[in-house]
Amino acid sequence: MLHNVPTLLVYYASSAVLLVAFLTLRLLRFFPRSQWLIFEMMNKIATIQMPRENYRHSLFTWPMFTSMRSSILRELQKSASRGKPAPDSQLVSVDGKSRCRLLDFSRRNRPLVVNFCSWTCPVFRTRVDEFLSIAREFSDVADFLAVYIEEAHPSDGWAFKVSAPDQTLDITVIDSEAPLPNSRYIAWRFRRVHHGVVMYDANQMSYQSITETRAYLCSA
């Protein structure tokens, strides 16, 4: 929960602005000339080209609104940021039999690249091969961890049709911090941790975050 009054005001003000934007865009999408701009905006935000039929049905609906409002809440609650100590979140193994801490995977002199992922996230599905490529290329100088978090687009929420091809990714641990999984780091984050400090922070995997991570590891 948010206990800081200024933070609460930011949250409620942001939610109100978001609601107004949704109502406006919901009306604009019925105009043919506006539809193209809306779809381009979605692709710009996602950093990938998404087939319109995958999300057209869910645009500016109540599930989309509540999902984005939750993202605002998580952003306000996060404690991880570049240059500050990395929060040592508790994780649980996929089989549920063991628990550990995020920094247990961080070795002292090696960067730890953490991908907080969700298989229903189209951005992750599209770019997972790039993440795996970096992991293979720099396995001798850095460690890589994929942490599974809450579903980005669950069937009972802001559902997406994910058309990206199936890939295989070994998931070792799952974020255990319910009811707001990954609340210290924010969902769909792509981060680098070195010596227990957050060295890089991206909202999601993108061409830029992949490129910058590769450049950083080249100099490690």
Each residue of 146-173: pLDDT tens digit?
888 888 888 888 888 765 555 555 555 5
| Tokens of residue 217, six digits | 């590891």
**What whole-number distance in Å separates Cα of residue 46 and Cα of residue 133?**
21
Tens of pLDDT, residue by residue over 97-153, are 888 888 888 887 888 888 888 888 888 888 888 888 988 999 998 888 888 888 888
Tell me what pLDDT residue 212 has. Answer: 83
**What whole-number distance in Å separates Cα of residue 76 and Cα of residue 36?**
32
**What whole-number distance in Å separates Cα of residue 192 and Cα of residue 198?**
6
Domain ranges for the chain: 5-77, 90-218
Q: Are strands 143-148 and 173-175 parallel, antiparallel or unpaired?
A: parallel
* Peptide bond preceding 111 in cis form (omega within 30 of 0): no
For 90-218, give the CATH class: alpha beta
Tell me what pLDDT residue 66 has. Answer: 93
